[in-house]
């Protein structure tokens, strides 16, 4: 009589399929969280190695003449390769040293520009006059937007006043826009003890802001226009005259600006 085979008592050690999937999902979420929390350092490392082997070239750029103080404004869209070489050459061959940089800090209720911390620190290290701006959305909570900027930007002595960048009506009337910007400006003024600068293109300022913000300094965008200089209808302190200036220390085009005054007058504008 043949012997009956003994049934195997050894149990399978394989994990259930649902548990495997759960573990993979948890691992993926952990990696995403790790990258998100360290994205600024990952970005800095990438920029360091990518710039190590790149020599930036430059060409002459059409800068308006007869202005003493030049500067740029940047966000993470501009790749600053060398902070020590923020220089341009105008059409008559003069080398222009950038003396101020205005950096995008925040947008809307929750977003902080991913390059802000790095650029903010580097501007200080290079002894550039620095400023920070918030991209304001008139159809979003004013208090949350103010909180977003204030929690991200610690202005210090020697910095420019905070900047409100408003370019979109987003379906709001002039009355609603004026009310929202005034409330936002009041929140910033209460925190930083100085009037903020208001940025926009010349048409938006004339249509929505000029009548109600005469006491505020304006920073205007004015290029691709028939007139070379901004119109006299707006009292402005800063003029963004190009969005494609070529600088030795930056890869690609960048927004270029002039200050409507002397170096001494600019110093008086800074936070004391």
Residue 28: what pLDDT?
78
Q: 160 is written with which tokens?
A: 């420019």
Phi, psi of 70 (to 5 degrees): -120, 150
Residue 12 has pLDDT above 90, yes or no: no
What pLDDT score was predicted for residue 8? Answer: 47
* Position 10 in a domain: no
Please indicate, yes or no, whether residues 24 and 96 belong to a single structural domain of this protein: no
% the chain with pLDDT above 70 = 83
Structural domain includes residue 1: no
Domain-ending residue, one of 9, 35, 53: 53
CB atoms under 10 Å from CB of 6, counted, come to 6
Please indicate, yes or no, whether residues 161 and 129 belong to a single structural domain of this protein: yes
Q: Is residue 141 located within the same domain as residue 245?
A: yes
- Residue 3 in domain: no
CATH classification of the domain holding 95 = 3.20.20.80
In a domain, 12, yes or no: no
Domain boundary among 6, 29, 53: 53
Q: Are residues 25 and 159 in the same domain?
A: no
Mean pLDDT of 136-144: 98
Whether residues 28 and 89 fall in one domain: no
Facing residues of 258 across strands? 70, 239
Select from 87, 116, 81 the least CA-distant residue to 99: 87
167 is catalytic: yes
Using left for φ > 0, alpha for ψ between -120 and 50, and beta otherwise, residue 92 falls in alpha
Determine the pLDDT at residue 208.
Answer: 97
Do 45 and 65 share a structural domain? no
Give the SS3 label for residue 149. helix
130 and 41 co-located in one domain:
no
What pLDDT band is residue 231 in, cutting at 50, 70 and 90?
Answer: confident
Three-state secondary structure of 178-220 = HHHHHHHHHHHHHHHCCCCEEEEEHHHHHHHHCCCCCCCCEEE
* 169-228 pLDDT per residue, tens: 999 999 999 999 999 999 999 999 999 999 999 999 999 999 999 999 999 999 876 566
What's the confidence (pLDDT) of residue 261? Answer: 96
Q: How confident is the model at residue 44 (pLDDT cuts 50, 70, 90)?
A: low
Q: Is the pLDDT of residue 39 over 80?
A: no
Is the pLDDT confidence value at 78 over 70?
yes
pLDDT for position 232: 74
- Among residues 167, 183, 189, 265, the one annotated as catalytic is 167
* Cβ neighbours for 265, distance < 8 A, ≥ 6 positions apart: 259
Under 8 Å between Cβ of 198 and 235: no
**79 in a domain, yes or no?**
yes
CA angle 248, 40, 145 (to 5 degrees): 100
Q: pLDDT at position 226, please?
A: 57
The answer on 60 and 49 residing in a single domain is no
pLDDT band at 95 (very low <50, low <70, confident <90, very high): very high
Q: How far is CA 35 from CA 31, 41, 49, in A?
A: 6, 9, 18
Among 25, 53, 81, the domain-final residue is 53
User: From residue 222, how far is each of 19, 127, 188, 203 by CA, in Å?
Assistant: 59, 28, 26, 9
**Residue 20: what are its φ and ψ, rounded to 5°?**
-60, -45
Q: Are residues 150 and 214 in the same domain?
A: yes
Q: Are residues 31 and 161 in the same domain?
A: no
Residue 246 lies in a domain: yes
Domain count, the chain: 2
And the tokens for 241?
């005259």
Our CA dihedral for 48, 154, 39, 122, rounded to 10 degrees, sits at 0
Would you say 128 and 158 are in contact if contact means Cβ atoms under 8 Å apart? Answer: no
pLDDT at 10 over 80: no
Both structure tokens of 164 = 């409100």
Q: Are residues 46 and 110 in the same domain?
A: no
What is the average pLDDT score of the chain? Answer: 87
Count, residues in the chain = 272
Q: Are residues 31 and 98 in the same domain?
A: no
- Give the domain range for residue 189: 56-269
C-beta of residue 69 within 8 angstroms of C-beta of residue 262: yes
Tell whether the model's pLDDT for residue 3 goes beyond 50.
no
In this predicted structure, the answer to whether residue 108 has a pLDDT above a threshold of 90 is yes
Q: What is the DSSP string of 27-50?
A: HHHHHHHHHHHTHHHHHHHHHHHH
* pLDDT of 67 over the 70 cut: yes
Residue 36 lies in a domain: yes
In a domain, 201, yes or no: yes
pLDDT (0 to 100) of residue 54: 53
């Amino acid at each position: 009589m043949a012997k009956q085979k003994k049934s195997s008592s050894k149990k399978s050690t394989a994990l259930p399929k649902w548990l495997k999937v759960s573990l993979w999902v948890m691992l993926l979420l952990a990696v995403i969280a790790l990258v998100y929390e360290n994205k600024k350092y990952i970005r800095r490392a990438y920029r360091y190695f990518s710039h190590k082997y790149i020599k930036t070239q430059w060409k002459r750029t059409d800068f308006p003449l007869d202005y003493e103080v030049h500067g740029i404004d940047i966000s993470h869209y501009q790749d600053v390769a060398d902070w020590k070489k923020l220089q341009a050459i105008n059409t008559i061959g003069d080398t222009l040293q950038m003396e101020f940089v205005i950096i995008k800090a925040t947008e809307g209720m929750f977003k902080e520009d991913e390059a802000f911390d790095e650029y903010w620190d580097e501007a200080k290290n290079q002894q550039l006059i620095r400023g920070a701006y918030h991209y304001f959305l008139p159809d979003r909570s004013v208090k949350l937007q103010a909180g977003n900027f204030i929690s991200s930007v610690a202005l210090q002595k020697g910095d420019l006043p905070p900047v409100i960048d408003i370019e979109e009506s987003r379906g709001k009337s002039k009355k609603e826009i004026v009310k929202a910007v005034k409330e936002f400006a009041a929140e910033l003024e209460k925190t930083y003890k100085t009037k903020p600068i208001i940025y926009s293109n010349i048409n938006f300022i004339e249509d929505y802001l000029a009548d109600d913000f005469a006491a505020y300094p304006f920073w205007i965008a004015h290029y691709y226009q028939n007139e070379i200089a901004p119109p006299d209808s707006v009292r402005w302190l800063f003029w963004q005259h190009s969005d494609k200036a070529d600088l030795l220390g930056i890869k690609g085009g960048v927004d270029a600006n002039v200050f409507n005054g002397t170096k001494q007058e600019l110093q008086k504008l800074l936070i004391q």
